[in-house]
Amino acid sequence: MSWWSNAVLYQVYVRSFADSNGDGIGDLPGLVSRLDHLAWLGVDAIWCTPITASPDHDFGYDVSDYLAVHPALGTLDDVRVLITEAGRRGIRVLLDLVPNHTSDRHPWFRDPSRRDWYVWADRPNNWVSSFGGSAWEYDPEVGRWYLHNFLKEQPDLNWWNEEVRAEFDRILRFWLALGVAGFRIDVADGIVKDRWLRDNPPASPEEEWTPRPRGQRFVFNRYRPETHEVLRRWRRIVDAHWPPRVLLGEVMVREPEAWAAYYGRGDELHLATNFRFQFAPFEPASLSEVAEASLAALAEAPWAVPLWHGSNHDFSRFPTRWCRGDDRLVRVALAMLLTLPGACILYQGDEIGMEDVPVPPERRQDPVGRDPERTPMHWSDATNGGFTSGDPWLPLGDFRLRNVADQRRDPNSLLNLTRDLIRIKKRLRGPYQRVPSGHGCWCFRRGTATVELDFEIPKVRVVEA
């Protein structure tokens, strides 16, 4: 059995996890100083959001050097220390790989000999950016338009160019050689664009299934079949490494069959995000329907490991969105995420039921409004929640309500529940089997164990035979 087949991955938004030097920004030494919390919790691996150099228009997702660490977050030596210290605690480290686009300040973008590394057009087509507005920006120096599926500071790379592919092979190998356990791949379903840059068709209202409507179906700027070739290429690279490494791709598709396709024939992603599940309303009929359709989509691929998550740094946290701050519902959500078969991602703070924090306009950092789910971790009731001794880059919110230190002391806390559930998860064996149950409940068997999720009372019961 591979290590990720029943794993709990913990997503660290590094800027907001722990600040070691009082500049108000979380960093790698801060993360190292909190590894004992993660070891105590029992997670198998961490995924760090981008730690590479970036002008931070999109906080690390606009990379200006793929082989250098962002000075605000640390140094290459800090990464080595992180890998070693995490490893000593049985925790693997995954880094975020951002291959779809670079920063517009990346030297490649201004290098005339590398023009063809990006996607250019003489006239814009109808594609819209995932962040809204046209996906094209005119470059007066070049006299043409460049594609940006995200911010205009994030020009899309041209993955038809073999030099781009070869460059990324080197980038992967660099970090693998350093000892990372794999990558979370940003926009893993969208790397290659339509060769002819054809217009996207409009989307009907029922085709808008994400919290950010796009107005059109992403047919030609995303989800192209040729992207699978690139995933297979990376899979060959990671598979040549020992101990085994893992590719966790950000896949944002609605249909379970389309999601399953990113696992390939065991030769593409090891794990693909399941946003249909994350975006499902918090009620047993919808969630069980998506979960069962997802499992069914992988039925012919017994080696493929399903993946469940409720929060991340891009969308409202599940304790707010699903549970409206009700701890009893948070318990149901945590139990659901941690007892379904496969792997699970917990986003930092999920383990204490951390909620979104309202961020006033004058403290706004993210141009597209994702600050509330990115605010600093609540470690204790000390100044700034124990996150920093300086001025935090984003407001803390009410860290007295739920924090790690208080919840460690309380045996009935969400934190202790999460830890218990992780231990239970490790013991659960056997496939998912639905058990008939009353209204408002979702019950299923995992081998000889039974999981009862009652969304109405609300309460949770896991009976291990």
Q: Which stretch binds Ca ion (CB under 5 A): 18-26, 45-53, 91-99, 350-358?
A: 18-26
**66, 146, 150, 399: which one binds ligand NOJ (CB under 6 A):** 150
Question: What is the chain's length?
Answer: 465
Strand runs (DSSP E) across 5-59, as ranges?
Answer: 8-12, 45-48, 52-53
How many other CB atoms are found less than 10 A from the CB of residue 23?
A: 15
Q: Which stretch binds Ca ion (CB under 5 A): 12-20, 49-57, 74-82, 167-175?
A: 12-20
| CA trace torsion 455, 456, 458, 464 (10° rounding) | -60
47 is a contact residue toward ligand NOJ (CB under 6 A): no
Shorter beta-carbon distance to ligand NOJ: residue 221 or 403: 221
- Report in angstroms how near the CB of residue 61 gets to ligand NOJ at its nearest: 3
**16, 17, 19, 95: which one binds Ca ion (CB under 5 A):** 19
Q: Residues 44, 96, 250, 351: which is the catalytic one?
A: 250
Q: Which stretch binds Ca ion (CB under 5 A): 17-25, 120-128, 180-188, 200-208?
A: 17-25
Helix (H) or strand (E) holding 304: none
Helix axes 327-339, 414-427, angle to 10 degrees: 20
44 is a contact residue toward ligand NOJ (CB under 6 A): no
Cα-trace Rg, the chain: 22
23 is a contact residue toward Ca ion (CB under 5 A): yes
Shorter beta-carbon distance to ligand NOJ: residue 42 or 99: 99
Total residues contacting Ca ion (rule CB under 5 A)? 5
Shorter beta-carbon distance to ligand NOJ: residue 47 or 175: 47
Long-range Cβ pairs for the range 52-58 (8 Å, 24+)? 52/98, 54/103, 55/103, 55/105, 55/153, 57/103, 57/151, 57/153, 57/154, 57/367, 58/150, 58/151, 58/153, 58/154, 58/366, 58/367
27 is a contact residue toward Ca ion (CB under 5 A): yes
| Binding pattern for the stretch 62-101 against ligand NOJ, x by CB under 6 A and - elsewhere | ------------------------------------x---
DSSP 202-254: B--GGG--SSS--SB--SSSS--TTHHHHHHHHHHHHHTSSS--EEEE----S
58 is a contact residue toward ligand NOJ (CB under 6 A): yes
| CA trace torsion 96, 101, 104, 107 (10° rounding) | 80
Shorter beta-carbon distance to ligand NOJ: residue 183 or 455: 183
Shorter beta-carbon distance to ligand NOJ: residue 227 or 407: 227
Helix (H) or strand (E) holding 346: strand 343-347
**27, 153, 250, 373: which one binds ligand NOJ (CB under 6 A):** 250
Q: Read off the tokens for 217.
A: 């179906």
21 is a contact residue toward Ca ion (CB under 5 A): yes
78 is a contact residue toward Ca ion (CB under 5 A): no
Total residues contacting ligand NOJ (rule CB under 6 A)? 9
Cis peptide before 243 (omega within 30 of 0): yes
186 is a contact residue toward ligand NOJ (CB under 6 A): yes
Q: Which does 23 bind (CB under 5 to 8 A by kind): Ca ion, ligand NOJ, none?
A: Ca ion
Q: What angle do CA 236, 241, 242 make, to 5 degrees?
A: 140
Q: Kindly identify the residues of this chain, within the stretch 162-221, that bind Ca ion according to CB under 5 A.
A: none
Catalytic residue flag (residue 186): yes
Applying CB under 5 A, the residues found at the interface with Ca ion are 19, 21, 23, 25, 27
Residues designated as active site: 186, 250
Applying CB under 6 A, the residues found at the interface with ligand NOJ are 58, 61, 98, 150, 186-187, 250, 313-314
